[in-house]
Amino acid sequence: MTAQTLPTSVLPTRPAVPLKTPVFLTVIAVIVLVCFGLLGSSAAANFRLSTAGDAFVLPTLVFPGKASNLVIGVLLVLAAGYSWYRRKQGLVTQRWIVIVFAALFVLSFLIWVVSGANVTTISLAALLAGAVVLAVPLVFGSLSGVLCERSGVVNIAIEGQLLAGAFTAAIVASMTGNPFVGLVAAGLAGALVSLVLAVFSIKYLVNQIIVGVVLNVLVSGITGFLFTTVMQRDPDLFNSPGRLPIIEIPGLSSIPVIGPILFKQSVVGYLMYLAVFLVWFGLYKTRWGLRVRAVGEHPKAADTLGIKVNVMRFWNVTLGGIVAGIGGSFFTLVAIDSFTKEISGGRGFIALAAVIFGRWNPIGAFMAALLFGFADNLQVTLTIIGTPVPSQFMAMMPYLVTIFAVAGLVGRSRGPAAVGEPYTKE
Amino acid sequence: MKLELRGISKAFGSFYANKGIDLVVEDRQIHCLLGENGAGKSTLMNVLYGLYQPTEGEILVDDKPVEFSGPGDAMAAGIGMVHQHFMLIPVFTVAENVALGAEATKGAGVLDLEVTRRRIREISDRYGFHVDPDALVEDLPVGVQQRVEIIKALVREAKVLILDEPTAVLTPQETDELLEIMRQLKANGTSIVFISHKLREVKAVSDVITVIRRGEVVGSVEPSTDTTELANLMVGRAVQLSLQKAAAVPGEATFQVRDLSVIDESGTTTLDSVSFDIHQGEILAVAGVQGNGQTELTEAILGTQMVTGGSVKLQGKELTGRSVKSVLRSGVGFVPEDRSVHGLIPEFSIEENMILDLYDRPPFAKGLSMKLGEVKRNAAKQIQDFDVRTDNPLNPASSLSGGNQQKVVMARELSRPLKLFIASQPTRGVDVGSIEFLHRRIVAERDAGTPVMIVSTELDEVMELADRIAVLYKGKINGIVPAGTPREVLGLMMAGVSAEEAMEQHHTEGEDQ
């Protein structure tokens, strides 16, 4: 009863590798080639690498607008073609190609926009340094997200934690006259928001997303109310926290480009680097981290090994709150020295995107946050030099980057398997 | 170490999963717990392992009463458990999985995985496990994952090892290896509690067999007890172990699969140029270890899985590229492998579940309205015909036992005229009584002249039902053999040996004996 030979109708091969990447790369490549290259300005774009206080001076980078973009455009078209070829072979495009592609696109965009602006020179050093500063709350927020989600609890309330931190830092620092006390208080405020999240989602098994959303609205309402009823009555007493000092490390801080980024930061800035390292080391190198990751991946397995799943989650969420709260203090103790309504401005949600973009890894989240910070700062810089693109469009950029990032253009990111699922024993 | 359970009861609400169970596991003994699915074996072991608190009764270790508030306490007392569904974290390495919960540290909580790696190599060498401490668990075959579970218990110095249905996921060869490992463990001083419902294995390895039925101990017997007697004890009435079915009268080959291939999202070929025919009035059983392309094969035919190439023809009409609805309408009856996820909507009533794929056409619908009276009549009839045990057809499907849920799915799929019937794991998690019933129904459908495809990972079921057997291995058909092919040959084929070689090996072994 073996198979007889039959006329075999073979269907055209149907796609297994998604079209997403090759199509997207092609569209971008064409935009670069046509809009940035052919239609771009032929003026040169100048990128300064050194600032006034530097120990030595690096040369300014000069790119002839049209020519550079034509070259980059051709490279991108080739890369897009390669991506189609890979797909035809039934393979996905390698991750590093997409990353290089993205970097080239950013460069080409910068060249195009700067060469067409009223002022054709920008300071790359200042652009990067500013990006890091703007990324600080995003980094703290995303670390909070990593801590919570690695243990299996979705933390949508990052925005609320940042806002609570910002408000508490302002009011406590104003009343005590000491911004460092405000910094500590910000951490506690973040923890308080987290406690609500932890109690409702872990103890009472309320849907974690819903609790998170409600918390954001709640914190926004409370801080808004207290801002108008308390702070605005007596701003001198309640809303003049003073700033945390910027600490320069002598010598090192005057290295061009990296000096200001690494060695000319506020306490919060240095804490950020420390926090990224500690969370990374903790998660991947310690007993605690192994258990946290186990609880987020397969809580039942962890439970059968005697690990207290919900206790672990509870403390992780609380710790996440402290981290985000400290991040929130950046708004009122570093960026500006007063609180206003909704000062966090949706950055908690961008931080959430950074968690996903960074694949739930503290270093990845840090990088993603830097990227978002860069997009944010680029918008500010470009508005100043007067580009042909309306500033409103520039302001949308961080969010566009976020959408593309979350849509998974840089490969599918796989989160902790048990995230969002409450753990109960039968 | 001696382990004793005295009068253990465990109640969930008003339902007693265990009732007054007494059990003594002596030092260096392989003690088997035999019982059907749902008899309460796993609940009992979860009580023993500290995952559940007993409602009544006590646990004694070396004649001293102990209380376990969690698995940590049980482990400290020297009890290790290998769960039916492995408790391994897929994205962790073997070493990380083994270390978890009992981590060696360099002080200050910094992990020292080197210590764990050394322990794994030690144990792996002693028992010949061949486990690489740095492999990712998700990349390992199930047989090796199971060894990782055993290592986990041994690293924690378990003196009593509970194995919960350990052979469910193994090939016959892997099963034999596991039985050998169990004997070695026993020789090295570990007692084993072996939970199973497979009589052959139980008889092969146990020192004592305790039979559990409906949460109660119904007897303790010697492994030399006759198979039929064991089965009767387990089910509680006389069972017929073999299905007396007439020989198939195959007609025309109306169902033809040619070069069917599926490549999944990650680019892995999960189904590789599969070709076969099924004749009218014939059952083709697809055997194989779980995860060798069975799911993809059935889903590709139904249309829930994108195919990358090939054709599927039913009575000359192409099925690939069509919607699921249109495939079902062309006369395909489909019983999915996971009834509670894909076969039923647990929250819907039994009545509604009986018409899930028929709701929009006569006699159940007329224009935009549903004929509720007809739905009710249909349910009443099917419940009668298929002996679904329920007191009300309006109860949610989730209120039914596994066997009765499966009857609902089967009743629905067989309630319309079929040109092809596909059933995936038709009796997984179903009690022996219902298995018999469902098997008879499948054979009846065959006798009515429908081509039938059964996908099963239970070799017993395959051998019971099949008129021909196709073995799937790594997405390819590794040969189609007639019914009555020896179990050992099928086992070898499931492990990738070709049909001819498997036959040859079988013959030489036969001569040696």
Name the E strands within B26-72: 30-34, 56-61, 64-66
Angle at the Cα of A90 (from A89 to A91), degrees rounded to 5? 95
Q: How far apart are CA A201 and CA A151, in angstroms?
A: 13
> Do A304 and B87 lie within an 8 Å CB cutoff?
yes
Residue of B nearest to A292 (CA): B100
> Do B100 and A305 lie within an 8 Å CB cutoff?
yes
| Residue B306 in contact with partner chain A when CB distance is under 8 A | yes
Asked if residue A1 has pLDDT above 70, the reply is no
Q: Min CA distance, B381 vs chain A (Å)?
A: 36
Asked if residue A3 has pLDDT above 60, the reply is no
B residues 239-268 near A, CB within 8 Å?
Answer: 250, 253, 256, 258-259, 263-265, 267
> Do B101 and A305 lie within an 8 Å CB cutoff?
yes
The packing angle between helices A179-198 and A158-176, to 10°, is 150
pLDDT of residue B142: 81
**If one looks up domain A127-390 in CATH, what number appears?**
1.10.3470
The amino acid at B465:
L
Which band of pLDDT confidence, cut at 50, 70 and 90, is reported for residue B507? confident
pTM of the model: 0.80
Of A8, A92, A285, the CB nearest to B267: A92
**What tokens were used for B176?**
């034999």
B residues 354-393 near A, CB within 8 Å?
Answer: none
Give B82 or A57, the one with higher predicted confidence: B82
> Do B307 and A14 lie within an 8 Å CB cutoff?
yes
Asked if residue A387 has pLDDT above 90, the reply is no
> Do A9 and B311 lie within an 8 Å CB cutoff?
yes
Q: Which residues contact B464 (CB under 8 A, 6 or more apart)?
A: B242, B243, B439
Residues of A in contact with B102 (CB under 8 A): 305
> Do A297 and B306 lie within an 8 Å CB cutoff?
no
Residue of B nearest to A294 (CA): B89
Q: Which residues contact A390 (CB under 8 A, 6 or more apart)?
A: none
Residue of B nearest to A307 (CA): B101
Report the residue of A287, A293, A426 to disrupt the B interface, i.e. the one with the largest count of B CBs within 10 Å.
Answer: A287
Domains of chain A: which residue ranges?
Answer: 2-116, 127-390
- Per-residue pLDDT tens for B133-153? 999 998 888 888 999 999 999
* CA A67 to the chain's CA centroid: 33
Asked if residue B104 has pLDDT above 50, the reply is yes
Residue of B nearest to A281 (CA): B110
pLDDT of residue A53: 73
Asked if residue A45 has pLDDT above 50, the reply is yes
Residue B423 vs residues B339, B346, B366, B428, B453: alpha-carbon distances, Å: 11, 19, 30, 11, 6
Pairing of strands B160-164, B79-82: parallel
Asked if residue B51 has pLDDT above 90, the reply is no
Which band of pLDDT confidence, cut at 50, 70 and 90, is reported for residue A413? low
Domains and CATH numbers, chain B: 3-235 (3.40.50.300), 255-331+417-512 (3.40.50.300)
The predicted model gives B488-504 an average pLDDT of 88
Enclosing H/E stretch for A203: none
Of B89, B256, B279, the CB nearest to A301: B89
Cβ atoms of A401 and A379 within 8 Å: the answer is no
| Residue B511 in contact with partner chain A when CB distance is under 8 A | no
pLDDT of residue B510: 60
> Do B89 and A303 lie within an 8 Å CB cutoff?
no
* CA B102 to the chain's CA centroid: 31
For tokens 């439970």, what's the residue? A303
Helical H runs in A201-286? 208-226, 235-238, 258-263, 267-285
Q: Min CA distance, B512 vs chain A (Å)?
A: 32
Among positive and negative, which fits the CA dihedral A121, A123, A128, A133?
A: negative
Of A10, A14, A286, the CB nearest to B259: A10
ipTM rounded to 2 decimals: 0.83
Cβ atoms of B69 and B129 within 8 Å: the answer is no
A residues 15-34 near B, CB within 8 Å?
Answer: 15-17
Which SS3 state, helix, strand or coil, does residue B221 take? strand
Residue A22 vs residues A88, A192, B196, B235, B239: alpha-carbon distances, Å: 11, 46, 51, 59, 61
pLDDT of residue A410: 54
Asked if residue A10 has pLDDT above 70, the reply is no
For tokens 């006798």, what's the residue? B447
Per this entry, what is the length of chain B? 513
Average pLDDT taken over every residue of chain B: 89
- Per-residue pLDDT tens for A196-242? 999 999 999 999 999 999 999 999 999 999 999 999 999 989 998 98
Which band of pLDDT confidence, cut at 50, 70 and 90, is reported for residue A16? low
- Per-residue pLDDT tens for B243-283? 778 888 888 999 999 999 998 776 778 899 999 999 999 99
Q: How far apart are CA A124 and CA A263, in angstroms?
A: 17
Q: How far apart are CA B371 and CA B360, in angstroms?
A: 10
pLDDT of residue B129: 87
Q: Min CA distance, A241 vs chain B (Å)?
A: 38
pLDDT of residue A400: 77
The predicted model gives B166-171 an average pLDDT of 78
pLDDT of residue A6: 36
Give A342 or A426, the one with higher predicted confidence: A342
**What tokens were used for B212?**
């559990």
Q: How far apart are CA A378 and CA A177, in angstroms?
A: 35
Question: How many A/B residue pairs have CB atoms within 8 Å?
Answer: 122
Q: Min CA distance, A374 vs chain B (Å)?
A: 32
pLDDT of residue B263: 87
> Do B101 and A291 lie within an 8 Å CB cutoff?
yes
Of B100, B111, B308, the CB nearest to A285: B111
pLDDT cut 90: percent of chain A above it? 51
| Residue B70 in contact with partner chain A when CB distance is under 8 A | yes
Which band of pLDDT confidence, cut at 50, 70 and 90, is reported for residue B445? very high
Q: How far apart are CA A159 and CA A157, in angstroms?
A: 5
Average pLDDT taken over every residue of chain A: 87
Report the residue of B42, B68, B89 to disrupt the A interface, i.e. the one with the largest count of A CBs within 10 Å.
Answer: B89
| A54-68, A401-415, B96-110: segment of lowest average pLDDT | A401-415
Q: Which residues of A238-254 are buried (b: 16+ CB within 10 A; e: fewer)?
A: bbbbbebeeeeeeeebb
| Residue B11 in contact with partner chain A when CB distance is under 8 A | no
Q: HSE of B296 in the Cβ direction (CA atoms, 13 Å)?
A: 28
Q: Which residues contact A272 (CB under 8 A, 6 or more apart)?
A: A136, A139, A140, A265, A327
Cβ atoms of B151 and B86 within 8 Å: the answer is no
pLDDT of residue A50: 80
pLDDT cut 70: percent of chain B above it? 98
